[in-house]
Structure 1
Amino acid sequence: MALLGFLLMVLLYSSSSYAQGPPSPGYYPSSRVRSMGFSQGFRSRWGSQHQTLDQNSLSIWLDRSSGSGFKSINSYKSGYFGVAMKLQAGYTAGVITCFYLSNNEAYPGDHDEIDLEFLGTTPGKPYTLQTNVWMKGSGDGTTVTGREMKFHLWFDPTKDFHNYAILWNPSEIIFLVDDVPIRRYARKSDETFPLKPMWAYGSIWDASSWATEGGKYKADYRYQPFVGKYNSFKIAGCGTSAPASCRPASASPARTGGLSRQQYAAMAWVQRNYKVYDYCQDSRRDHKHTPEC
Structure 2
Amino acid sequence: MPRRGALTQSVRDSLVVARRNLIRMTRIPEMILFGVIQPVMFVVLFTYVFGGSIAIPGAGASTSAYKEFLMAGIFAQTVTFATAGAGAGIADDMHKGLIDRFRSLPMARGAVLTGRTLADLVQTAITLAVLAIVALIVGWRTHENLGSVLLGFALLLLLGYAFTWIGALIGLSVRTPEAATSGGLIWLFPLTFISNAFVPVNGMPTFLQYVAEWNPFSATVAAARELFGNTIAGVPKSVTGAWPMEHPVWATLIWSVLIIVVFRTLAVRKYRSAS
Same fold (TM over 0.5): no
| Structure with the largest fraction of strand | 1
TM-score when normalising by structure 1: 0.25
Q: Which protein has the bigger helix share?
A: 2
Q: TM-score, normalised by structure 2?
A: 0.26
